[in-house]
Every structure is written in C-alpha cells, then in structure tokens.
Amino acid sequence: MSIDSFRDHTRQILENLLSETPKADRSELVEAYTEVLTKLYVAESHQLLSEVIDDARTRLDARLSPDPVRQTIAGVQTTIQDLWNSLWRG
C-alpha cells in the first residue's frame, strides 16, 4: 500500500459519491460509502502489514545468517530505514 494508492482509491470513491443522483437518500449514500471506505482501509492496511512483516522476516533471516556479509547488509538496511523514518516523521 502506498499513500498515493489509498488517496487515488478514496478520490475515486468520493467522485462516485458526488456523481450520484441528487434524488438519492443522503443517509443511505453516506452509509454505503462509509462501508466502501472502511473496506478499502482494511484491504490497504492488510497489504501494508503484510509488506512490513515480509520485510521484517527478510531482515531477521539476514541478521541470523552465519554469513557476515548478509549480517552487514541487514545492519545497513536497518540504519537507512531508521534514518528515513526519522526524516519522514521529523
């Protein structure tokens, strides 16, 4: 999942909402689109969590490897990710 992907899907859903017939019941529309947005959030969050778990598993495998080169690469990846997270949140 990326923020852009989630934003694009949300924009499409909201455009559909705005293009619905004006005679539609607003409360029904709100309920229907709330459900659609919730499902989108669940799907995107699940995909993101899966990616994080896969990345963590790869890093852990590399750190536990008897190969010192793989251990060094895992350490560098972790350092770069920590730096990126610091910049992103800072």
pLDDT in tens, 22-64: 777 878 888 888 888 888 888 888 887 788 788 777 777 777 7
Distance CA 1, CA 12 (A): 16
Percent helix, strand and coil across the chain, each to the nearest 5: 85, 0, 15
Name the more confident of 70 and 38.
38
- Indicate the number of domains in the chain: 1
pLDDT bin (cut points 50, 70, 90) of residue 90 is: low
Tell me which of 79 and 8 has the higher pLDDT. Answer: 8
Containing structural domain, residue 65: 3-89
Q: Is the pLDDT of residue 1 over 70?
A: no
Q: Which pLDDT score, from 0 to 100, does residue 88 have?
A: 66
Enter the pTM of the model.
0.54
